[in-house]
Structure 1
Amino acid sequence: MKKNTLLVFWLLGIFGYLQSQSYIGFLSDNYSGVNAVISNPANINSSPYKLDINLGGVSAFASNDYFGVNVFKALKDGYDFNLEATRSPLNDNRATGNVDVLGPSFMFSLSQNSTLALFTRARFFINANEINGETIASIDDDTTNDFTVDEDDFNGVGHAWAEFGVAYATTILNKNNRKLKGGISLKYLKGLASAYAFGEDVTFNYDADGTDLGGGQTTGSFTSSGTLNLARFDEFDADNYDYKSPNNASGFALDIGVSYQWHPDDLNTNTYKFKLGLSVTDIGFINYKNGVREVYNITNTNVSEEDYENSESINEFLNNFYTRLDGRTGYKIDLPSALNFNLDWNFRKNLFLNFNVDMPLISTDRITANRIANIVSLTPRYESKWFSFYLPFSVVQRNGFRMGAGFRAGPIYAGSGSLISAFASNNNQQADVYAGVKVPIYKNLPKDKDEDGIVDKLDNCPEIFGPKDNGGCPWGDTDEDGILDNEDACPEDAGPIENKGCPWKDTDGDGVLDKDDNCVEEAGTIPNNGCPEGEVTEEIQNNLNAFARTILFDSGTAMIKPESNTILMEIVQILKTYPSAGFTIEGHTDSTGGEDLNRELSEARANSVKDFLVKNGIDANRLLTVGYGESKPIFSNITNYGRARNRRVEINLID
């Protein structure tokens, strides 16, 4: 009775919380072809395929948040599930399983900017929601055959249906390196099976020996209370049930989406830098016009298990032992409407990083609705014409982190959103897998050997990657100045990078480049930074000599006295004002001493003055020194006054 009751409990309860994105990883591939219609119909446009035929693909998923296993250990012989599986009882444990089948489907290009797809799809999922973990533990307890269910409220929906759809996508905007695409899918829905149930204040106590059959034999009995609401498309629980597709179970649905792409190089290629996608899927419902809805008060005590076993169906059992409060014909099941956001970044040739968010648009309080879970995924991938590889990382609502892997190799695609995490975790609570086969027929695109976005017949350098602005050739450096021609303002004249590759001008032709010329429009001299110099006037000459004659030396030596430094610096400033003028520094003595000695002393003193001037910034080539000794007196050497005036230094302009 325990296992049978557990099965009935799941089936009565309680279905309905879809938790997985189908074909995770593969749908982000630009070569997913007609499969892309599942997440965003706009993505089938600008496909690399002329025709894409999906022969068949299936994606399956199972998840719970109560039991956890180590997959490696579980696959080995001798694994004891009851002893080794982890258990995580909550007040609202859930479990789910779903299958998504993409049947024969076709996608073909109508033109360069429009695409049409025809597709078939079958979808099924079943869940248990809001299940008290203590209930599962009680049923799972092998130490006793008795168990207790105390569920309060629970709800769910299970559903299987087929889709026959047509999708159309077109380019809305295509300019300025930006492309905007839009797409829409219209789907006819055929209901295959459905049931939903929800309970209010439900309790259920099973006593394995509660009914005395006489002769020492017993059977189970159960006592229950609360309200149970059930809806079903057919009496599928009857012993002689033979499945038939339900009549009058159909509907329509709509998917709509847009996609924005930024192509930094060429809009005529499929190589984008960024792609943003936004879509709303599964807007619609299926009307089960012949379906049955019933409400029961399940309050009763000591109901025999034998009565349950002898009933032809659960419906018969409920009607015989409980109070039917309401019964109606017909109900609707809403599809799992969702908002899908996608960001794809082509960060390097053939390498992409995809960020995806799927959000439900159906409230959790809506009993007659399928609903997806929130899922956020980040998928790096390698993508090429005949091969792609995906490594999705995802966080799923209520199931946490998972990591998977997938690939596309020619006509085959396969993968899983949780393959790696399933084997790496000691408490894995989910698993999914997908696989399929397709026939891809690529567009007859013009060849582009160097893949620079310029077809070979229009490419001046078909085997070397180059920009469109240079005819498909890499930029050269004609003047060999180290600056590529596309950045060189003077590509045929070598010049520095500071002047954008152009040689510096000399507007006034004075030999001083404009960048260094303080007088660009007026010819000058190099020493005067390109500006013209003034003439050394007689007045300037007199001032120089007036300063020079006051230079003091230690007696009988060429050592300049420190108090003369101020005078010498005045001379320096005058000479710097006339940077191209040359001067002689003349040394003179009085007649005291020998003639040869006086000449040597006068030369030494002239050189001491020159050394000071050079040390303070005067070009040595502008200065000549000469020692006249006593040969050029300006006063009589007879008197002390005259001799003092004859001991002098003069600085004169060289004509």
Structure 2
Amino acid sequence: MKKRVFLSLFAFASFCTANAQSYLGYYHDNYAGVQGVLFNPSSIVDSRFKTDINLFSISSSVANDAYGVKIFDVFKDGYDFDLEAKKSFSNANNAAFNADVMGPSVMFNIAPKHSLAVYTRARAFVNVVGVNGQVINDVTKDNKTSFPEATVGSFNGVGNSWGEFGISYAAVLFQRGEHFLKGGITAKYLQGVANYHIQGNDVKLEFNDNILPQLSTYETQGSAIYGSSQDFAANSDLDFDSKSRGFGVDLGLTYEWRPEYSADRADINDLKEVNKYKLRVGVSVTDLGSMKYNKGIRRNYDLNQIISQDDYDNADNFDEFLENNYNFTVLNGAVRSHLPTALHADIDWNIHNKFYLNANGDLGIVSKTKLNQSSIANRVSLTPRYESKWFSAYIPVSYMDYSKQAQVGLGLRTGVFFIGSGSILSNAISKSSKSADIHLGIKIPIYQKKAEDKDQDGDGILDKDDECPTVAGPVENKGCPWGDRDNDGVLDKDDKCPDVAGPAANNGCPWEDKDNDGVLDKDDKCPTVAGPKENAGCPWPDTDGDGVLDKDDKCPKVKGTLANKGCPEVTKEVIKKLNDFSKSVLFDSSKATIKPESNDKLEGIVNVMNEYSNANFKLEGHTDSTGNVAKNLQLSKDRAAAVKDYLIAKGISADRLSSEGYGVTKPIASNKTVEGRAQNRRVEIILVK
């Protein structure tokens, strides 16, 4: 019994978790046909198919949050799941299982804006949420030892299988210009096959090992509700009941943005054989409804009990185990099982030509903990695809909240056959996959015919309505081109000067030039006063009025001469004034350090040089003949450089200044007298031309 009680209910589901959305990546294809109705019933109207007949298709998917495996190793001989699977137990592991088989089904158009679909479908769905995976693993392993009280959890589990017969109707709801909206509804008859459900309330478990295994005991606490579509404890064979049935509904809307629509292409919305949208947005709610099992039974179990290992091992099935070892109350009668209601939303972008990118989200909108309530695992996906009439390829990338792993898959459609998986690429490289899925099908597609060519000039106006059937023209002019008498490229209907050529920017009229300066008024900042093009049609200014235009004036705000580029000339008087200041600059004895009392003189030099901002100067240093000639030469250079550095520090550009020292070589007085030597120790300023 060890492998048939808890393991059969929880462990299998713990490693076979599944998303509940079938045909991952395929159902967004504009050539998905009748399969698309399972996701959004509005998809079948304005379809690329005139008729689509499904012969057989299946979609099955598995995933999990408790075990990770190398998928392709599982099928090898000798694979040991217990040893090789990577375990990720938590106190709330989740599980589900979904298989979806579509039998003979068909979709077809009943009018240009109306479509129908009829389908048959068989589904199996299992999901368990909130189970302590570690406890279940401890109970089911072969060589277990005593473990203290552990919480199994307030878990919820549902297993349900049923058949569906659905009829879908879809219609165009709104079509105006670039905007297109369609809606659809599916009504489905549900035929129940089998149902199991269980709900635990604060279930706890303690195992006490004994040297004699048969004397080992389990102490359990809490309560549980366990029900099924029939009393399998009394009769383990499936007793099919045709009266176990129910009804369900799917609803869907699809909006398309069709920017290529225009007055000249008003017929584009009538072209059935091509996709017309740049952006498509779909929203749907699926699996609204439930089914009732008339022969159902439900037991409420009191789990506060101690049972032996023998009790555990000797039970033939789960029903027998519970019934023989725990007190319970019985409720016979109808059992209602609810469908896994879900909200779906997707955005499909036509990137270019036959390349698309789809973003999709699937969200369960029912409680995962409600008794006998199936629920999907939430998921988001991003699927790039290439799509054409006879071939499609898609690569879905998805993330699901149960497995908590990114999945990458691949799918192909080749006319009558399609096959794909939402996880095959990621599983090929992963050593710890928690999901796997596959879908495939065979169908007979009957495509929309290409519209007959009754528009010779291709202007979107049928020849029967076109007054110029061989020359393209707009619908406003009955298919004839607009005239252009002045041949300026502006149609007469838009030309305010139809007989005089002019640019479109001026409504077909020529631009004026009032001041005749060669600069058009639209570009002329001084349209009534002539001026050169280089100054945007305005005359060049002379701010200081010295006869030198500002564009050529190096001193535009100070009057100067043309010869000196608009700047004032440096006169002999100015040079004398500069040298009166410079010759009064005092230095520390035998040093190039300027004495502080010379700052006023230096500031005078700065002020004069600022007045003549375009003039360049050379500072020459000189000494008397006292002392060593070489040292005097260096001292003269240093003193000239010191004055230059001071001027630069006060803002005079270094590019305007140079310095040199001449030592004793250029005396201006006799070195034999004290007065003469004092005159020879100087810094002179020379104008550089």
| The two structures share one fold, judged by TM-score above 0.5 | yes
Given the superposition, is the C-alpha separation of residues 96 and 470 from structure 1 closer, same or farther in structure 2, using an over 3 Å criterion? Answer: farther
The residue that corresponds to 1:236 in the other structure is 232
Shift of 1:433: 0.6
Among 399, 403, 423, the residue aligned to 1:399: 403
Q: Which residue is equivalent to 1:650?
A: none
Q: Which residue in 1 is equivalent to 2:278? A: 273
User: Matches of 2:15 and 2:81 in 1, distance apart?
Assistant: 24
CA-CA distance at 1:31 after TM superposition? 0.8
Question: What is the alpha-carbon distance in structure 1 between the residues aligned to residue 437 and residue 473 of structure 2?
Answer: 44
Give the secondary structure class of the aligned counterpart of 1:37.
Answer: helix
Letter in 2 for 1:252: F
2:118 alignment partner, SS class: strand
Structure 1: gaps of 5 or more residues? 213-217, 529-561, 570-655
User: What is the SS of the residue equivalent to 1:43?
Assistant: helix
Counterpart contact for 1:34–1:117, Cα < 8 Å: yes
The aligned runs of 1:366-515 (5 Å cut-off) are 366-400=370-404, 401-446=406-451, 499=506, 502=508, 504-505=510-511, 515=521
Aligned to 1:127: 127
Greater alpha carbon shift after TM alignment, 421-430 vs 114-123: 421-430
Q: Distance in 2 between matches of 1:466 and 1:84?
A: 72
Task: For residue 234 of structure 1, give the secondary structure of its aligned residue in structure 2.
Answer: coil
Distance across 1 between alignment mates of 2:295 and 2:202:
29
**One-letter identity of the residue aligned with 1:353:** L
For each residue in 1:145-188, what CA deviation from the matched residue of structure 2 results, as whole angstroms up to 9, or x when unmatched?
87887413211111011111111111111112211111111111
In the other structure, the counterpart of 1:576 is none
1-structure distance, mates of 2:25, 2:477: 38
Label 1:364 to 1:495 Cα distance change in 2 as closer, same or farther (>3 A).
same
Distance of aligned partners of 1:366 and 1:484 in 2 relative to their CA distance in 1, 3 Å threshold:
farther
1:259 corresponds to 2:218: no
After superposition, what is the alpha-carbon deviation per residue over 1:95-124, rounded to whole angstroms, capped at 9, x for unaligned? 322101111111110111000111111111
- Percent identical pairs in the alignment equals 37
Q: What SS class does the counterpart of residue 3 from structure 2 fall into?
A: helix
Alpha-carbon displacement from aligned partner over 1:494-518 (angstroms, at most 9, x marks no partner): 7667657x57356999896863798
Q: What are the equivalent positions in structure 2 for 1:165-184 lying under 5 Å apart? A: 165-184=166-185
Q: CA deviation at 1:203?
A: 3.7
- Which amino acid counterpart does residue 84 of structure 2 have in structure 1? E
Find the counterpart in structure 2 of residue 53 from structure 1: 53
Match of 1:163 in 2: 164
1:398 aligns to what SS in structure 2? coil
Contact map agreement 1:106 1:118 (CA 8 A) in 2: yes
Q: How far is 1:80 from its partner?
A: 4.3
1:516 to 1:457, Cα distance in 2 relative to 1, 3 A:
closer
Look up the SS of the partner of 1:28 in the other structure: coil
Contact 1:15/1:126 (<8 A) preserved: no
- The answer to which structure has the higher strand fraction is 1
Residue 193 (structure 1) aligned with residue 197 (structure 2):
no
Write the deviation string for residues 192-218 of structure 1: whole angstroms up to 9, x where unpaired.
111100122334456786878xxxxx5
Distance 1:517 1:155 in 2: 78
The CA distance in 1 between the partners of 2:492 and 2:24, in whole Å, is 44
| 1:62-119 C-alpha deviation (Å, 9 max, x unpaired) | 1221111223555566654333321111111123221011111111101110001111
Q: Distance in 1 between matches of 2:421 and 2:480?
A: 43
Q: Report the CA distance between 1:220 and its aligned residue.
A: 6.6
Summarize deviations over 1:346-405 as a string: whole Å, max 9, x none. 121011111111111201231221111211111111111111111111111132221111
Helix, strand or coil at the partner of 1:36: helix
Structure-2 separation of matches of 1:406 and 1:486: 55
Amino acid of the structure 2 residue aligned with 1:189: L
Alpha-carbon offset, residue 219 of structure 1: 7.6
* Structure 2 partner of 1:87: 87
Within the candidate set 213, 221, 224, 1:225 is matched to: 221
Residue 390 to residue 299, structure 1, CA distance change in 2 (3 Å): same
Is the 2:289–2:338 contact (alpha carbons within 8 Å) kept by the matching residues of 1?
Answer: yes
Which position in structure 1 is the counterpart of 2:638?
none
Per the alignment, residue 40 of structure 1 pairs with 40
Using the TM superposition, give the Cα deviation of residue 244 of structure 1 relative to its aligned residue in structure 2, in angstroms. 3.1
Paired letter, 1:4:
R
Q: TM-score, normalised by structure 2?
A: 0.65
Report the 3-state secondary structure (helix = DSSP H, G, I; strand = E; otherwise coil) of the residue aligned with 1:135. helix
Query: Distance between the aligned counterparts of 1:69 and 1:293, measured in 2?
Result: 36
Measure the CA separation in 2 of the matches of 1:480 and 1:423: 66
* Alignment CA distance shift 1:512-1:443 (3 Å): same
Structure-2 separation of matches of 1:439 and 1:9: 40
SS in 2 for 1:26: coil
Which residue does 1:532 correspond to in 2? none
Q: Residues of 1 paired with 2:342 and 2:79: CA distance? A: 40
